[in-house]
Amino acid sequence: MLSHEYLDKGASIGIVVGIITFVVSWICCIAAFGFLLGVGLGWLPSLIVAVIAHTLTMLLWGPISLILALVVAGITIIFFREEAWGLLLIMGIFGILLSPVYIVDAWDTKRIRDKWHNRD
């Protein structure tokens, strides 16, 4: 069973992912179907894709962030394995990829704690 805190954090990250997915998908529709059809009707499939991306991110944001960090670290190890600064680069990439998760975690924890303490 997923906790409310996990889903709240996932929903916060999912909103950002959904908006980015919607905009990129709409741009792809405009490029694929032309300006009139892409702008006029491209928002509908873009909205569907964005809702799916939001829902999947909300439910799976923990494993997705870990897998993404591991893939990027693996690619970095492959390309920079003989460089002395490769380990520092890998640690920096892990920090950059996982920092949004920790920022959302801290913000949501504070928001949930404040809501819990201010209930009537």
Q: Domain count of the chain?
A: 1
Residue at 27 is within a domain: yes
- Per residue, the 3-state secondary structure of the chain, as one string, reads CCCHHHHHHHHHHHHHHHHHHHHHHHHHHHHHHCHHHHHHHCHHHHHHHHHHHHHHHHHHHHHHHHHHHHHHHHHHHHHHCCCCCHHHHHHHHHHHHHHHHHHHHHHHHHHHHHHHHCCC
Structural domain range at position 11 = 4-108
Q: What is the pLDDT of residues 69-98, one digit of tens each?
A: 777 777 777 776 666 566 666 666 666 666
Residue at 118 is within a domain: no
pTM, whole model, 2 decimals? 0.60
Ranges of residues in the chain with a pLDDT under 70 are 1-2, 80-120
